[in-house]
Structure 1
Amino acid sequence: MSSRRAVLSAARLNHFHLGTSQSLISAFSTTTRTTSPSTRCLRQYSTAPQSQSHSRPVKKSRKIPIFITTAILGGTIYYFSSPSKPTLLNSETFIPYTITSREAISPTSFIFTISPHIPNPSLPYLTPSTSSWRYPLWSVEFKQPQVQIARHYTPLPPQSSEDPTDGSLRFYVRAIGGGEMSTYLSRLGVGHDVWLRGPHVGFDVTARLGAMDKVVFLAGGTGVVPAMQVAKAVLEKNPDAQVNLLWAIRKREELQRVNSPVRRPSWWQFWVTNSSEPVELHSHLQDPSPIAKQLRDMKTTYGQRLRIQVAIDEEQTQFREADLQNAISGAQDRRLLANRSITGSGCRLHDSALLELTSEFETPAGSDDCKCGHGAGKNLFMVSGPDGFIAHYAGPKRWLGGQQVQGPMGGKAAQLQRRSPKLADDWLVLKL
């Protein structure tokens, strides 16, 4: 009897729960009919058939491909309408080159060769349709990407066995303590990339020479490279030209390979007969360093028209005022007398006063740039090397308007001019 009552009670309880649930559902349905439109929309969305419940997500997903299509279309239009990124050497952007060879000269100096990623025979520093360099003096900038600085380096003139139309360039670099760029370059080996911008045209040497044909070039260390550029340009253009190159170096290994101590061969005596005087480099120099080998080859090519003297710091030799006087006196030309009265004043190329405010990077001279008349010109005394070297021999360069300019003549050159005033009329002093 008690179990029957229990079953009956359970059935009544289930009936009560069912009734209660139906009442709640009915109440909820009644409530949704009187809610706000936004709530009604939510209900309709949630209670719509399955085929309709996906209508809003489908509409939403259509925005994604439209956005992607728009982005691709816009990028394509920008790519084809904007200028393409340069891939060849130019003066505005840095272009990658790869180091293809490296020759050690000393523990701190070396020569390395670089080649462009994309070769092109129409290079901006070559005369069109030839393998000759367009400019007598020019350089490029190297970028140090880690600290974002750039420095000018002058490429070596091509050797007789080289064809410059492949775009390869060679550089003589010496790592200087505290020098960000030279230290960076000294750590790079074959296969590494470097970044170049240029060319940057230097002094128009041949235009300043005009009818004259004498150059005395005083170079310190790696400053011998622009001297080699100038010598090649001047001697090839004029068969009567003469270049006297005075090269000051720190150690003998910049000139000759120094091996372990052995008995000195007989040719060594040529270099040590008088340790207090600079010595002359002849075409028969033995065991030359890579840079001296190219100098020796140039001496063989040009003979007596190219004279090369060397002073070595560690052997207590240096170029004194008498050496400079002898170099200049040996290059006097009778034609100077005919041009002295008309050369100089007011001329961008030949006026020493105007030169003081001139940067070494200039636009190549045009036919109307010389105001001195036909046949005018001046012989050139040029100095290249570290800042202290230039200041000692020709006075320091100065900064003006964000660029380095020549500044007034000073140093040994100014002393020479005071002793021989005619040098101011006959010669121009150029600092590189």
Structure 2
Amino acid sequence: MSGRRAVLSAARLNHIHLKSSQSLINPFSTARATSPSARCLRQYATASQSHSRPVKRSRKIPILITTAILGGTIYYFSSSSKPTLLNTETFIPYTITSREAISPTSFVFTISPHTPDPSLPYLTPSTSSWRYPLWSVEFKQPQVQIARHYTPLPPQDSEDPADGSLRFYVRAIGGGEMSTYLSRLGVGHDVWLRGPHVGFDVPARLGAMDNVVFLAGGTGVVPAMQVAKAVLERSPDAQVNILWAVRKREELQRVSSPIPRPSWWQFWHANSSSKPVELHAQLQDPSPIAQQLKAMKTKYGQRLRVQVAIDEEQTQFREADLQTAISGGQNGRLPLSRSTTGPGCRLHDSAMLEMAPEFETPATAEECRCGHGAGKNLFMVSGPDGFIAHYAGPKRWLGGQQVQGPVAGVAAQLQRRYPKLADDWLVLKL
């Protein structure tokens, strides 16, 4: 018994010693360590754990560096893959190569692409001729992130459109973010373009008809020049009459001294015989726009007529002027109807046109439901919103885009006076 007890006592002592050793080695075990050495070990372990945390955070630094390098690499390759040629989705840089002032608020400038485009989207494939009779591009104002449509001037006979250069006629207006921005840019500055955006399909709507009357306010003469070039080159029987309204004579020709403004008495009692002037080949010191119009008149002869009304000289286009233009100068008599269009055609139905936007894809032959040889003459209006509203009625907003809206203004008065006009002529607002 004494030997067994001795053995048991020794075993018990060994077990107690083992537990004490475990508590000293692992101070976070469930057994309480109340000895000074146990407390010291616990404090040391806690201090070691707190010092190890910054070491864990410092491991994030290489991860951040790696992420930054990876992001920069992705951005570099994605940026280098951006389109460099003119397209309808992305703005492309062009450089201003020339700039010519017309008046204190208007100018003509030429731009060229950074990257030559072997297949310009607005040219007919394998040619140097424009594909569309009416089209525009968007300019971006980078400071305020807005975009506005501008119509390029048609190429002159001495120019090769295949080089990608485009010319624009711009007038800076008060409160106009884009026009003011462009007016501040000189030669060498970059501008950003997106397009082309195709406008009304003029040939499809004209069909077998051959008369276009284009009433243009200010820079609205540019789409008139586009349409005139396309229509007159399309048919030898076509006739185009451009009525161009400007604010100052400088838009038409350079003047050596300011023209005196009329007094209030002259304003209210202006000579009723004052009429718009005819742009003729003898016009002295023409502005760049008038010079190009003169060249077009020389090329197309009597098939192109250009009249100019100057606001500061108290001349404007009245109902009688529009009637004369529509009648073709035949003593005010309207031409006989040759239209064979019927209802339900998106190209020729005036009621359907009220809901049509200005930009559209070129029509196919199957889209016209009026039969072979159908078409209508075109009365087109382009310029500031107030100008369009006065002569043809305002455009309207529908579904986030502008549509034609009903015909109103001076054009509606003519339609009421001559009901045949609604059958033979379409009114298009740009």
Q: TM-score scaled to structure 1, two decimals?
A: 0.80
Compared CA separation, residues 123 and 261, structure 1 to 2 (3 A): closer
Compared CA separation, residues 235 and 69, structure 1 to 2 (3 A): same
Give, in whole Å, the separation in 1 of the partners of 2:115 and 2:79.
Answer: 21
1:316-340 C-alpha deviation (Å, 9 max, x unpaired): 11111111111111189999745x3
Equivalent of residue 166 in structure 1, options 163, 166, 169: 163
* Corresponding residue for residue 150 of structure 1: 147
Residue 121 of structure 1: how far off its partner (Å): 3.0
Paired letter, 2:367? D
* Corresponding residue for residue 416 of structure 1: 414
Give, in whole Å, the separation in 2 of the partners of 1:318 and 1:139.
Answer: 28
- Asked if 1:116 is matched to 2:113, the reply is yes
8 Å contact 2:135–2:151 — kept in the other structure? yes
Unaligned runs of 5+ in 2: 1-35, 49-54, 260-270
91-100 or 153-162: bigger deviation: 91-100
* Corresponding residue for residue 131 of structure 2: 134
**RMSD, aligned α-carbons:** 3.2
Residue 93 of structure 1: how far off its partner (Å): 1.7
8 Å contact 1:231–1:243 — kept in the other structure? yes
* Corresponding residue for residue 82 of structure 2: 85
Residue 284 of structure 1: how far off its partner (Å): 2.6
* Corresponding residue for residue 198 of structure 1: 195
Give, in whole Å, the separation in 2 of the partners of 1:391 and 1:59.
Answer: 71
- Asked if 1:315 is matched to 2:313, the reply is yes
8 Å contact 1:344–1:352 — kept in the other structure? no
Compared CA separation, residues 82 and 280, structure 1 to 2 (3 A): closer
Give, in whole Å, the separation in 2 of the partners of 1:331 and 1:134.
Answer: 32
Give, in whole Å, the separation in 2 of the partners of 1:402 and 1:60.
Answer: 52
Compared CA separation, residues 209 and 279, structure 1 to 2 (3 A): same
8 Å contact 2:395–2:403 — kept in the other structure? yes
* Corresponding residue for residue 30 of structure 2: none
8 Å contact 1:33–1:40 — kept in the other structure? no
Equivalent of residue 359 in structure 2, options 361, 383, 387: 361
Give, in whole Å, the separation in 1 of the partners of 2:354 and 2:412.
Answer: 14
Give, in whole Å, the separation in 1 of the partners of 2:76 and 2:185.
Answer: 34
Q: Match of 1:98, SS? A: strand
1:130-175 C-alpha deviation (Å, 9 max, x unpaired): 1111111011111112222111111101111111111111111111
Equivalent of residue 393 in structure 2, options 392, 395, 398: 395
Give, in whole Å, the separation in 2 of the partners of 1:243 and 1:70.
Answer: 63
Calculate percent identity across the aligned residue pairs: 83
8 Å contact 1:275–1:315 — kept in the other structure? no
346-355 or 122-131: bigger deviation: 122-131
Equivalent of residue 369 in structure 2, options 368, 371, 395: 371
8 Å contact 1:275–1:316 — kept in the other structure? no
Give, in whole Å, the separation in 2 of the partners of 1:364 and 1:36.
Answer: 87
1:283-337 C-alpha deviation (Å, 9 max, x unpaired): 2322101110001011111111101111111111111111111111118999974
Paired letter, 2:317? F
Give, in whole Å, the separation in 2 of the partners of 1:277 and 1:381.
Answer: 21
1:109-137 C-alpha deviation (Å, 9 max, x unpaired): 11011111112131111111111111110
1:50-102 C-alpha deviation (Å, 9 max, x unpaired): xxxxxxxx999999778756765676567668992111211112111111111
Compared CA separation, residues 114 and 343, structure 1 to 2 (3 A): same
Residue 399 of structure 1: how far off its partner (Å): 0.9
Give, in whole Å, the separation in 2 of the partners of 1:70 and 1:118.
Answer: 33
Paired letter, 2:379? F
Equivalent of residue 213 in structure 2, options 211, 216, 221: 216
- Asked if 1:350 is matched to 2:348, the reply is yes
1:377-422 C-alpha deviation (Å, 9 max, x unpaired): 0010000111111111101111111111111000110010011101
Q: Match of 2:387, SS? A: helix
Compared CA separation, residues 82 and 248, structure 1 to 2 (3 A): closer
8 Å contact 1:139–1:152 — kept in the other structure? yes
* Corresponding residue for residue 279 of structure 1: 277
| Equivalent residue pairs, number | 382
Give, in whole Å, the separation in 2 of the partners of 1:423 and 1:382.
Answer: 14
